[in-house]
Structure 1
């Protein structure tokens, strides 16, 4: 049977007028173990969506439908889909040298990219440790922090403080830093030493009456309180995102980060900025920590570094952090086979060139307010409680009752987040992210080439789908 015949025939058990299951959806339903996804029911009644190609800010599925990519893949595709020049760089590098590790060696792309990242990073963050992705970068940062203090004769300093609801990765170490209990319960016990402090969700702290500065002071003080409670001689690092992803694009005033920087310095604690999402233009600058007015000791990054045209992450450390590792006989016994992969490194260099040449940073800075204002129109819908974010990274918080800010119960969340919203938005032509790891939000983070036309399209699709969602709940 040909592929065409296979896509048009009626599958066993399907109704005659139901869409036929494509060969790729069928194969995925039988064999693909998907990430962060329920596997039950992935058959002809609920086939796995198959994305076949992308161009610019749009995707196409195997049914020929065009979908606006409102999430840049997964906060990744900064330069947009279908960039032939990046594919050509990958092919050229693979034909010259497809692989060699950076375990005591280097390749030209890895060396050049390390230098490039050091120049982009704030302050004296000059030392680049490559990983395969963001979670591995966070894992590496914690291990560096532990060994850093051991090398300095302070072996008890091993704990990490992070914020409630924050997501930092799925490895056992990164998951211990993550502030999402429901994500961790099936894998406990995790690496010991992760402790939580409040985040900066102003909408969920109405007692501050919209005063972000007051909330920032209060939240920063909770970090110092946690360090004192655990004992400064046991705390190695504080890990935070310049804009917190999980919970829905939680921002904080620059004074918050300045205060956290002072607290970490006073107690000899490393400050780690998790910039896996916020790095490489998502907020109109190479690294959002600089935009929000602080210089961390370590940056973790990934995603937008290659615009998704190759897997790559990095931990970027300051000269202070690297100093004890430069002593004779010292090794950091840690690494990844694919870290600094020459093809991905070459693509990253080309991607950074492209972003500068087309001024994608400037595009974000000049359009960010318009993006927020366009989404802000949705506040007239009763189901919309808050619209918040920065740059090209925004969230819409959905509520059961806007006056009381009452959120949804478990059954309503099930119907909305895992039932109605993902499919309805996709069918309407928008790929984005309904999420309830904190309160119920829809996250939007399009490619950095997007403009007002795409903002308007997102708003119109969201308006129609959210009006229907309001009826459901």
Structure 2
């Protein structure tokens, strides 16, 4: 049985029209192995992994031997032990210590989970527990940003601004107000950083006052918003959020599931923008994709309330801080430090920025955004305001662009939800020659798409 037939019969894929696989529909793309910054499909064709899997494979695929050595040692010593009812194990203790050493000042405690959505769900429960213990049980509402994605569990889905994802599951578990995100392209006229930051903070403050400050429990945001296309903040934005949190008493959560562990050239992407959150959610790059793991970091100020004598944190996961995953995360951190992987991003990020920004000269490109090794190209269509006609959307975004990128040997994300985008997040080991190859492939593809767009207009 071939792979497509096997999936059709037995496997439910994530975020996929599973019923469209098979005869008369899509064939399954099967990745069989990786090597350095490349992956290979079942036919042996090599591709640049321009998305680090799904923002996970910070180190690419060249460290399997070292990771396997750490994993084998851990499995021989201890294959499983829960972090449950005053019980722990050395790998989780050491990983929590290491994370505290890398995190912003005051971020000293970690609750482990199995992935990003669980980390966000944990953040919400910790936020709620904190407010209840402080005598403010009425703080039951959240703020998030328009177009944001924070996960697909029912709690995390509350903070995800995507009706198609939410509506099939009924009303959100957490009442959430969505405020303006930091996408300058949505402004009616250009603003400098100071004016834009003031506009964004005024919008957030109005939402806080509208919800009732005494009812707001948290504000969650990514340092650079992924959905909508790698949207960075203006100067002063995160400092302004900190002031609002302190003024109105809610907790500030930085969702670093994608931006953590070097994606923006820092261990924590928020450090690039002056973020000082109360909680940080992590996953993906924490193990460089070699094992599933998530984490929620909590400031000493919040933990002091949670850890009052006799108070119980009634929250947990069977595989929280699994010994194998923790050991793999520790080895991944060792490798990143030893091989100066963050220095590699810092050394080449300006080169990548120049190559990506140059794509803005193409007729089909509306905007280029991003930071570090995290960029998106927003596309402009054949209708007023840059919208795409259905014919152009079907021909270019759903067919030509993804097909040509893959034919040229690049796996990138061609996205058509919050905005029509081509997005890249290459492994952090990528150097200038590989970054040039990525940019060249995108440029050639979008140049062809620009010519096709012109012909469609006629």
Q: TM-score, normalising length from structure 2?
A: 0.94
Q: Secondary structure at the match of 1:385?
A: strand
| Alignment match, 1:204 | 186
| Alignment match, 1:432 | 412
Counterpart check, 1:465 vs 2:449: no
| Alignment match, 1:362 | 343
| Alignment match, 2:97 | 115
User: For 1:362-406, what per-residue CA distance to the aligned partner results, in whole angstroms no more than 9, with x for missing partners?
Assistant: 11111111111112222232111111100000000001159x651
Counterpart check, 1:388 vs 2:369: yes
Q: TM-score, normalising length from structure 1?
A: 0.91
Q: Secondary structure at the match of 2:275?
A: coil
Q: Distance in 2 between matches of 1:53 and 1:225?
A: 50
Residue 410 (structure 1) shift: 5.5
Please list every run of 5 or more consecutive structure 1 residues that lacks an aligned counterpart in the other structure: 1-21
Counterpart check, 1:303 vs 2:284: yes
Q: Distance in 1 between matches of 2:29 and 2:123?
A: 36
Is the CA contact (8 Å cut-off) linking 1:165 and 1:437 kept in structure 2? no
User: For 1:176-234, what per-residue CA distance to the aligned partner results, in whole angstroms no more than 9, with x for missing partners?
Assistant: 0112222211112220311100101012214125x233222211221111111111100
Is the CA contact (8 Å cut-off) linking 1:59 and 1:66 kept in structure 2? yes
Cα distance change, pair 417–136 in 1 and its aligned pair in 2 (3 A): farther
Please list every run of 5 or more consecutive structure 2 residues that lacks an aligned counterpart in the other structure: none
Cα distance change, pair 330–253 in 1 and its aligned pair in 2 (3 A): same
Q: Distance in 2 between matches of 1:233 and 1:41?
A: 48
Q: Secondary structure at the match of 2:76?
A: helix
Q: Secondary structure at the match of 1:195?
A: strand
Q: Distance in 2 between matches of 1:141 and 1:254?
A: 26
Residue 98 (structure 1) shift: 1.5
Counterpart check, 1:40 vs 2:22: no
Q: Secondary structure at the match of 1:85?
A: helix
Q: Distance in 2 between matches of 1:97 and 1:131?
A: 18
Counterpart check, 1:375 vs 2:356: yes
Within a 5 Å distance, the mapping from 1:75-94 to structure 2 comes to 75-83=55-63, 84-94=65-75
| Alignment match, 1:344 | 325
Cα distance change, pair 415–144 in 1 and its aligned pair in 2 (3 A): farther
Counterpart check, 1:159 vs 2:141: yes
Cα distance change, pair 277–99 in 1 and its aligned pair in 2 (3 A): same
Is the CA contact (8 Å cut-off) linking 2:142 and 2:174 kept in structure 1? no
Q: Secondary structure at the match of 1:457?
A: helix
Is the CA contact (8 Å cut-off) linking 2:381 and 2:392 kept in structure 1? no
Alignment match of 2:433 (pick from 449, 453, 456): 453
Is the CA contact (8 Å cut-off) linking 1:135 and 1:170 kept in structure 2? yes
| Alignment match, 1:172 | 154
Q: Secondary structure at the match of 1:144?
A: helix
| Alignment match, 1:17 | none
Q: Distance in 2 between matches of 1:378 and 1:131?
A: 39
Alignment match of 1:290 (pick from 257, 271, 282): 271
Residue 144 (structure 1) shift: 0.9
Q: Distance in 2 between matches of 1:457 and 1:44?
A: 35
| Alignment match, 2:387 | 407
Q: Secondary structure at the match of 1:100?
A: coil
Counterpart check, 1:129 vs 2:107: no
Q: Distance in 2 between matches of 1:273 and 1:291?
A: 13
Q: Secondary structure at the match of 1:145?
A: helix
Q: Secondary structure at the match of 2:370?
A: strand
Cα distance change, pair 423–31 in 1 and its aligned pair in 2 (3 A): farther
Q: Secondary structure at the match of 1:233?
A: helix
Q: Distance in 1 between matches of 2:342 and 2:156?
A: 29
Q: Distance in 2 between matches of 1:241 and 1:385?
A: 23
Q: Distance in 1 between matches of 2:394 and 2:110?
A: 42
| Alignment match, 2:164 | 182
| Alignment match, 2:4 | 25
Q: Secondary structure at the match of 2:18?
A: coil
